[in-house]
Amino acid sequence: MTRHVRGMVWGLAVAGALVLAFAGLLGSGVLAGSGGGSSDIETQWAVSGHANEELAKEEATVEMRQAGAASCARCHASQGFQAWVAQLQAGQPGNLLGPDGKPASVEYMQSLGLTTAQVKPIDCDACHTETYELRIAGSTPMLPSGFAAHGVGSGALCMTCHNTRNGKVAWNATDPGRFTAPHHSAQADVIMGQNAYFVNVDAASFISPHAAFTGDACVTCHFELGEDGHKFEASRKVCVDCHGPEYTAARVEGPTRELLARTAKAYNERFMALYASKVKTADLWDPDTDKTSAGAPLDGTSIAGVELTAIHGQQGLKMTLRDGQVVYSQLAGLKGSDGKPVVPTSDPLVRGAWNYLMILWDGSYGVHNPAYTRAVLLATESALAQRP
Ligand code: HEC
Ligand code: HEC
Ligand code: HEC
Ligand code: HEC
Ligand code: HEC
């Protein structure tokens, strides 16, 4: 047992009520089931993505992002998240605010420790209070993704960070008016059946039984039934615990991969048929240097095919040219002879890209919400296939 964890257990011993709960967990074997007991907690955490200090330095410090750290530090730094929770519970899921209620200043963020010297990743204090309770449980406050999740047990904590973070999507909008991509962390939106275009998420409840009827949603599969507790990894065999010995993730993932591939194909076909040849210039982005050459000449007839991605939070394309060269641009950066984006935000390509990336980046290939994932991908493929 490391010194840190021993100190922590002693902390629990001081909090009389909690020690009973803790002993109860040990006695009931819940702790053993979640990875061999408390001595493993710190080592499990240390090898998990949550302990990724480089990512916190990169995304959540004033040196790297200046005032923009007020967005990313909400979920990418322990200090940022802790400051944000109170604000969130007061109904303000937007960027970090200062004590005066105005957008957080660089000085204020320095005082929180959002600097390369002091920033902390998603550590014990991000998720737990001093008495090792979870900072958020049961239900979430209103999230940056424009919805709140009610009655989801300990999973509420996870959903507070693991959501698309870009506001509510109106499912039947004909023109979203933006090229925004969902964030990499689309899990809450997918498991709660929210924020897709082309499917009526208001009329039908697409909430997954895996969120509503497993007790603790994310935490049930990624912790309680997981093999390595605080690594928060879900085994692809976790299904057998509830669905019987023959049932594995592959049974849902295989068909989902097929639907994703069909959607990507429909996207490429639509772009090539309606827009590729109109491209005259592109904001060419170099993934190695992260530099963009705005307005670089690109003859659209040289594009052989495209794949969807995101570049700096915006929808982007990886384009393979007829000579085999691969180039990247944000979708908004592909311009025609009139100097305007060739693809209007009203084209189904833009809503389709949001849906596709949300399902892809959810990362569970349908497991989180099998019925919703299917409905979204089938509706997206069909919308992309319709020609004006
Ligand atoms: C304070 C924000 C925050 C909270 C709360 C949070 N996460 Fe994360 N999570 C992250 C970030 C940031 C990453 C990305 C880490 C990386 O890519 O290195 C991540 C990555 C992950 C991953 C990917 C695997 C890995 O190790 O990189 C899983 C799985 C995960 N989180 C599950 C959970 C679960 C389950 C909960 C709730 C118990 C949770 N997270 C709560 C921010 C959070
Ligand atoms: C609402 C919470 C939230 C906010 C705000 C947020 N992120 Fe994230 N971000 C996450 C989570 C959670 C993950 C991990 C997703 C996963 O593993 O599926 C993540 C992943 C990432 C990754 C990918 C890391 C990897 O290795 O795969 C990058 C890059 C990133 N975020 C950058 C940013 C930047 C830049 C900002 C600010 C403009 C930002 N994030 C704001 C929650 C957030
Ligand atoms: C991403 C969020 C997250 C992080 C980071 C995290 N925990 Fe936890 N921890 C949880 C959740 C969720 C539970 C399950 C409790 C529940 O469901 O009520 C838990 C449970 C516990 C428990 C109760 C015993 C058990 O294993 O069930 C202890 C003790 C604990 N954590 C300590 C730590 C320590 C020490 C660290 C840092 C090394 C840490 N946690 C980091 C989310 C987190
Ligand atoms: C029914 C069980 C279950 C529930 C509930 C669940 N997950 Fe998952 N999750 C999985 C499985 C299985 C995978 C795929 C794991 C793999 O292939 O390695 C996965 C994948 C992921 C990934 C991608 C992992 C990676 O390494 O990139 C993240 C992140 C994640 N889940 C977070 C969450 C969050 C956050 C929640 C709650 C909003 C949640 N999960 C709810 C079972 C579950
Ligand atoms: C903690 C228990 C639990 C785990 C673990 C679990 N499920 Fe479920 N699952 C449920 C419940 C409860 C339902 C809803 C009742 C039912 O259909 O049996 C459900 C429903 C489903 C459905 C029907 C979906 C729908 O929307 O109607 C599928 C498909 C499914 N699960 C697949 C999986 C896969 C694949 C895994 C493993 C990666 C898994 N489940 C893990 C509890 C679980």
CA–CA distance, 363 with 55 (Å, rounded to integer): 19
Considering only residues 10 and 308, tell me which one the structure prediction assigns the higher pLDDT: 308
Mean pLDDT within 55-80:
98
Instruction: Place 156 in a pLDDT band, splitting at 50, 70 and 90.
Output: very high
160 Cα nearest atom in ligand 2: 1
Instruction: Place 19 in a pLDDT band, splitting at 50, 70 and 90.
Output: very low
For residue 58, give the nearest of 81, 78, 76, 84 by alpha carbon. Answer: 76
Residue of 45, 72, 122, 233 best suited for mutating to test ligand 1, as the one with most atoms within 8 Å of CB: 122
Contact 61, 116 (CB under 8 A): yes
The pLDDT, as a whole number, for residue 33 is 37
| Residue entry with tokens 């919400």 | 369
CA–CA distance, 105 with 96 (Å, rounded to integer): 9
167-191 pLDDT, tens digit per residue, is 999 999 999 999 999 999 999 999 9
Q: Is 176 in the pocket of ligand 2 (CB under 6 A)?
A: no
Mean pLDDT within 36-61:
90
Residue 144 has pLDDT above 90, yes or no: yes
Residue 23 has pLDDT above 60, yes or no: no
Residue 383 has pLDDT above 60, yes or no: yes
Residue 2 has pLDDT above 90, yes or no: no
310-365 pLDDT, tens digit per residue, is 999 999 999 999 999 999 999 999 999 999 999 999 999 999 999 999 999 999 99
Sign of the alpha-carbon torsion through 249, 250, 254, 255: negative
82 Cα–ligand 4 center, Å: 24
The pLDDT, as a whole number, for residue 246 is 92
Q: Is 230 in the pocket of ligand 2 (CB under 6 A)?
A: no
Residue 3 has pLDDT above 70, yes or no: no
The pLDDT, as a whole number, for residue 276 is 98
Confidence (pTM): 0.93
The pLDDT, as a whole number, for residue 53 is 97
117 Cα–ligand 3 center, Å: 25
CA–CA distance, 98 with 80 (Å, rounded to integer): 11
287-318 pLDDT, tens digit per residue, is 999 999 999 999 999 999 999 999 999 999 99
Protein residue with its CA nearest to atom 17 in ligand 3: 154
Contact 226, 234 (CB under 8 A): yes
The pLDDT, as a whole number, for residue 38 is 58
Nearest ligand to the C-alpha atom of residue 22: 3
Helix/strand/coil (H/E/C) assignment for every residue in the chain: CCHHHHHHHHHHHHCHHHHHHHHHHHHHCHHHHCCCCHHHHHHHHHCCHHHCHHHHHHHCCHHHHHHHHHHHHHHHCHHHHHHHHHHHHCCCCCCCECCCCCECCHHHHHHHCCCCCCCCCCCHHHHECCCCCECCCECCCCCCCCCCCCCCECHHHHHHHCCCCCCCCCCCCCCCCCCECCCCCCHHHHHCCCCCCCCCCCCCCCCCHHHHCCCCCHHHHHHHCCCCHHHCCCCCCCCHHHHCCCCCCHHHHHHHHHHHHHHHHHHHHHHHHHCHHHCCEEEEEECCCCEEEEEEECCHHHEEEEEEEEECCEEEEEEEECCCCEEEEEHHHCECCCCCECCCCCCHHHHHHHHHHHHHHHCCCCCCCHHHHHHHHHHHHHHHHCCC
237-295 pLDDT, tens digit per residue, is 999 999 999 999 999 999 999 999 999 999 999 999 999 999 999 999 999 999 999 99
Protein residue with its CA nearest to atom 41 in ligand 3: 124
Contact 264, 308 (CB under 8 A): yes
Residue 128 has pLDDT above 50, yes or no: yes
Q: Is 351 in the pocket of ligand 4 (CB under 6 A)?
A: no
Largest CA distance in the chain: 72
CA–CA distance, 150 with 248 (Å, rounded to integer): 28
Q: Is 163 in the pocket of ligand 2 (CB under 6 A)?
A: yes
Residue ranges around ligand 1 (CB below 6 Å): 48-50, 52, 55, 75-76, 81, 122, 126-127, 157-158, 160-162, 218-219, 222, 232
CA–CA distance, 85 with 92 (Å, rounded to integer): 9
318 Cα–ligand 5 center, Å: 35
Cα atoms in the Cβ-side hemisphere of radius 13 Å centred on 210: 26
Sign of the alpha-carbon torsion through 220, 199, 88, 61: positive
Instruction: Place 32 in a pLDDT band, splitting at 50, 70 and 90.
Output: very low
**pLDDT, the chain, mean:** 91
CA–CA distance, 255 with 257 (Å, rounded to integer): 5
